């Protein structure tokens, strides 16, 4: 008898520690593929599962033998009445905490009642984009799941047969005493009254979303803040001047105590309101002013000066901002970890340099469609910031290779780089930044026009995702690039019309860890099915394919799903 491997006797806690230490899906895939025992171990620690229609024939075996520790189930991809699926799920003793039933026709089916009786302690229920959702449904939800802590009933499809009103929200709020988060966005018949009753009846409330609720006004929001000062997150999104403008809202922020996240994106915001936020005694960490209007740099300055613990700042679309403005606020953003100044068209490389120099904790920078261009900075202007992990700078049409290489020297530990549609970037710039940033895991270079000089003569062991849509790559260039990427999982070649069938086949064959590939509009084959069959056979790690020639029948989708691969048309 063969000797039992020493790891067979390791307790579950040890295996959990091992799995948590894996840094990527590729590592988990390698772990799972060693043997059936390790596959079973990895499945035992899987906590979430999405269920499209094609998966339902295998659901019993999955839940009974493979994924027995599920805490989250997502049925939003499922089309049709989900009652039978919910009844199947209810048969198993899962530690279920979260259920997503978004996109269903209605909630009037028996399976929901059974889920309530079996999983009454469910914490999170997502019911977004339900076609028929009304007050009666809210009463049923409260009865079936009285211990809910988070509820999403956002954006029901408009119907004359059912609608959510203040009455339904009132009944719901009286029952769900543990409710801490609710999203009522898109419910056109709820008003300020709903905000008030939720604030009064739900003592644990910390977060409420009400985007696109046309009857909610600044006065209702002011009442919410006053009656529930412990709110942690508040989103006033896409609110127009006549709806939001009132002195009561300005005054209400002096009552706030717990607000750490404020979202004013798309709304009319005036400086007096921002001044009241600046004066508020709140632990503000996240401020979103993207696409907001009505305010000036003075309002931003006051908030940043008072709340120096801000970690996330979104100023996208603030077209009045200049490099001088940003140099002023950067000095007070020592805690910043993420900033978005995309579409701030006056900002140049000077702002990028100031951010990396003065914000030592910064991890993510978004500067899409700004004014990054030819770089005349001295080497002494460059300060290395090893914390920056993500740099999203697409559509900077004047960004040059030299500037990109200097960015690589400033941020040598990048994981995510997006330079799509930076039309002056060539293959030399891409190879230069990759050489200086060996930790890059995801590279987006879609739409680059001058990539013919791309030549990679070094290894890219960390690269997991490559978006190369629309590039004029030929077979040899693709093969040479792929040969350097031993852990590539996601490959987007959409509209790469210069590739041949043979070139794509070789790329798929050489990517031993490839899980997803997008070949939409590649014009490489006339018949998808034999081509897909070959790919799944030669590369069993594939889990998702977007084929070249368009729509795939449900029969073909089922055929490939049985082999563990989802074939879709987008």
Q: Point out the least confidently predicted range of 22-36, 336-350, 534-548.
A: 22-36
User: Residue 385 in 3-state DSSP?
Assistant: coil
500 forms bridges with which residues in the sheet? none
CA distance 149 to 181: 6
| Tokens 């014009």 sit on residue | 523
- At 479-532, the pLDDT tens digits run 999 999 999 999 999 999 999 888 888 888 888 889 899 988 887 765 555 656
Question: Do the Cβ atoms of 234 and 206 come closer than 8 Å?
Answer: no
The closest of 549, 542, 496, 484 to 516, measured between CA atoms, is: 542
d(CA 60, CA 76): 19
CA gap 316, 537 in Å, rounded? 46
pTM for the whole thing?
A: 0.88
**Looking at the predicted structure, is the pLDDT value of residue 124 above 90?**
yes
Give the end-to-end CA distance of the chain in Å, rounded to a whole number: 51
- CA within 13 Å, CB half, 361: 12
Q: How many CB atoms lie within 10 A of CB 515?
A: 20
Tokens read off for 315: 């100023």
**Average pLDDT in the 177-202 region?**
96
Question: 570 falls in which pLDDT band (50, 70, 90)?
Answer: low
Residue 450 burial by CB count (10 A; 0-12/13-18/19+): exposed, middle or buried? middle
Pick from 250, 313, 323: which is nearest to 286 by CA?
313
Find the length of the chain: 570
Q: What is the mean pLDDT of residues 311-326?
A: 97
Mean pLDDT value across the chain: 88
CA separation for the pair 198, 183 (Å, rounded): 11
Query: How many whole angstroms separate alpha carbon 343 and alpha carbon 265?
Result: 14
């Amino acid at each position: 008898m063969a000797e039992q491997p020493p790891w067979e006797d390791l307790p579950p806690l040890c295996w959990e520690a091992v799995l948590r230490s894996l840094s990527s899906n590729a590592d988990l895939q390698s772990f799972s593929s060693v043997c059936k025992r390790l596959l079973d171990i990895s499945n035992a620690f899987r906590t979430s599962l999405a269920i499209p229609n094609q998966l339902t024939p295998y659901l019993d075996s999955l839940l009974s033998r493979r994924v027995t520790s599920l805490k989250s189930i997502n049925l939003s991809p499922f089309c049709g009445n989900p009652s039978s699926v919910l009844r199947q799920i209810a048969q198993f003793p899962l530690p279920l905490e979260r259920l997503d039933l978004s996109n269903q026709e209605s909630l009037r089916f028996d399976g929901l009642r059974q889920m309530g009786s079996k999983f009454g302690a469910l914490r999170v229920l997502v019911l977004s984009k339900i076609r028929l959702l009304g007050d009666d449904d809210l009463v049923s939800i409260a009865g079936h799941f009285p211990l809910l802590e988070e509820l999403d009933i956002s954006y029901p499809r408009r119907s004359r047969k059912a609608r959510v009103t203040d009455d339904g929200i009132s009944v719901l709020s009286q029952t769900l005493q543990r409710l801490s988060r609710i999203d009522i966005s898109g419910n056109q018949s709820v008003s300020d009254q709903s905000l008030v009753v939720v604030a009064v009846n739900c003592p644990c409330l910390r977060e409420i979303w009400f985007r696109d609720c046309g009857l909610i006004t600044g006065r209702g929001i002011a009442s919410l803040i006053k009656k529930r000062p412990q709110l942690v997150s508040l989103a006033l999104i896409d609110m127009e001047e006549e709806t939001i403008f009132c002195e009561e809202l300005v005054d209400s922020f002096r009552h706030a105590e717990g607000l750490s996240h404020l979202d004013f994106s798309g709304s009319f915001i005036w400086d007096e309101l921002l001044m009241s936020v600046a004066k508020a005694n709140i632990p503000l960490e996240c401020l979103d002013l993207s696409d907001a209007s009505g305010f000036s740099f003075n309002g931003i300055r006051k908030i940043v000066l008072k709340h120096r613990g801000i970690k996330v700042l979104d100023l996208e679309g603030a077209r009045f901002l200049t490099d001088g403005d940003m140099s002023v606020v950067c000095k007070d953003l020592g805690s910043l970890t993420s900033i978005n100044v995309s579409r701030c068209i006056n900002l140049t490389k000077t702002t990028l340099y100031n951010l990396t120099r003065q914000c030592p904790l910064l991890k993510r920078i978004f500067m899409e469609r700004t004014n990054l261009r030819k770089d005349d900075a001295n080497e002494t202007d460059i300060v290395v910031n090893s914390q920056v992990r993500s740099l999203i700078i697409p559509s900077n049409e004047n960004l040059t290779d030299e500037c990109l290489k200097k960015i690589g020297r400033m941020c040598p530990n990048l994981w995510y780089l997006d330079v799509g549609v930076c039309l002056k970037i060539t293959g030399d710039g891409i190879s230069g930044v990759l050489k200086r940033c060996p930790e890059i895991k995801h590279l987006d270079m879609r739409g680059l026009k001058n990539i013919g000089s791309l030549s990679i003569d070094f290894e890219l062991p960390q690269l997991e995702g490559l978006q190369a849509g629309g590039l004029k790559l030929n077979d040899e260039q693709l093969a040479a690039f792929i040969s350097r990427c031993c852990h590539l999982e996601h490959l987007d070649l959409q509209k790469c019309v210069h590739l041949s069938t043979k070139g794509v086949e070789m790329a798929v064959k050489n990517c031993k860890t490839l899980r997803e590939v997008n070949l939409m509009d590649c014009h490489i084959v006339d018949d998808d099915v034999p081509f897909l069959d070959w790919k799944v056979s030669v590369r069993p790690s594939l889990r998702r394919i977007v084929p070249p020639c368009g729509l795939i029948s449900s029969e073909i989708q089922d055929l490939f799903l049985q082999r563990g691969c989802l074939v879709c048309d987008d």
